[in-house]
């Protein structure tokens, strides 16, 4: 059975078609952006409806250097879902929606969520470092998804530098790379001068820098590392030479090759060819060549 005969390569009328599965996958990747927005808005609304609950959420989850050094490591993550006001929340969610959608369509849900979180983590770690060095008061709290969102901007600025964006209230379009450079320059000057919200701008700068780095170098690292949960880690089938044994051996070899091709092509379908390791590429090539040899032999036999 060639790859054309497998379920993900068949038309819309064959079981779970490629188009149906592709639609489901795209729905999931779009949903991660919506889900993040829902979580952020829900937490904000809960805090607004109940002041005691709002104070508890803020006191427990806000980023604070001294608290992190005291062991509250979770603040490096929970602060990414807290906001200091309606306008703060609105700006971050609008940016998340417009910057997140094109990236979510390129990546899997897992990858988007991990990189989104790491961008925010980079901002909070830089904030912690500045607090440790005394640049920022270690008792000052910080909240917001801006580090995550600016990380998405950094990714797009590297991947699609000439894409045109409109930024309110600027009445003319600009390249997304230009926007990223302007925001980075503003953040650097604010941190150096210790201007208004310079702690927040430090988080913005670090998130933006991490996102840009990821788009530049991180993609190749991700593909090479084959990051997975340990219990789900797939092992590439060990290459085996074409069988010259009996019928049973040939059937077993053909079944093993079909499973190898299925698994690897499914991975390509879900995440793209760049997600394959060199071992998987080699296994796919060898399995495909063995199948081609078998099929050519069958065709010769049919013509005899």
- What is the residue-level pLDDT of the chain in tens, covering all 304 positions? 454 455 444 444 444 444 444 555 455 445 899 999 999 999 999 999 999 999 999 999 999 999 999 999 999 999 999 999 999 999 999 999 999 999 999 888 999 999 999 999 999 999 999 999 999 999 999 999 999 999 999 999 999 999 988 887 777 889 999 999 999 999 999 999 988 899 999 999 999 999 999 999 887 776 666 555 454 444 554 554 444 455 666 667 777 877 888 787 877 777 667 677 778 778 888 877 877 776 665 444 434 4
Helix 198-213 and helix 146-159: axis angle, to 10°? 40
pTM above 0.75, yes or no: no
- H runs (alpha helix) in 50-145: 51-61, 65-69, 75-78, 86-106, 109-132
In whole angstroms, give the CA distance from residue 93 to residue 200.
17
In whole angstroms, give the CA distance from residue 202 to residue 59.
21
Record: fold of 8-225: Rhomboid-like fold (1.20.1540)
């Amino acid at each position: 059975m060639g790859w054309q005969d497998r379920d993900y390569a068949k038309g819309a009328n064959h079981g779970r078609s490629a188009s149906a599965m592709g639609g489901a996958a795209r729905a999931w990747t779009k949903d991660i952006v919506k889900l993040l927005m829902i979580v952020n808005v829900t937490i904000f609304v809960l805090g607004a409806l109940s002041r005691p609950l709002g104070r508890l959420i803020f006191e427990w989850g806000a980023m604070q250097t001294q608290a992190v050094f005291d062991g509250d490591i979770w603040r490096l993550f929970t602060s990414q879902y807290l906001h200091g006001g309606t306008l703060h929340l609105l700006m971050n969610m609008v940016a998340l929606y417009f910057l997140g959608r094109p990236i979510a369509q390129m990546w899997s849900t897992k990858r988007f969520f991990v990189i989104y979180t790491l961008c925010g983590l980079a901002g909070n770690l830089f904030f912690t470092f500045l607090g440790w060095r005394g640049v920022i008061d270690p008792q000052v709290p910080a909240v917001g998804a801006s580090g995550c969102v600016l990380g998405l901007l950094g990714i797009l600025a590297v991947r699609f530098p000439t894409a045109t964006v409109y930024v309110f209230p600027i009445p003319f379009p600009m390249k997304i790379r230009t926007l990223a450079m302007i925001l980075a320059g503003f953040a650097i000057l604010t941190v150096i001068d210790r201007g208004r919200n310079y702690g927040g701008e430090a988080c913005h700068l670090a998130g933006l820098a991490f996102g840009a780095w990821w788009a530049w170098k991180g993609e190749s690292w991700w593909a090479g590392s084959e990051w997975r949960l340990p219990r789900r880690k797939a092992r590439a089938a060990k290459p085996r030479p074409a069988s010259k044994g009996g019928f049973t051996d040939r059937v077993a070899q053909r079944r093993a090759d079909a499973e190898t091709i299925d698994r690897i092509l499914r991975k390509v379908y879900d995440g793209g060819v760049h997600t394959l390791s060199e071992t998987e590429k080699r296994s796919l090539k060898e399995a495909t060549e063995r199948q081609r040899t078998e099929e050519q032999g069958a065709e010769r036999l049919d013509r005899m």
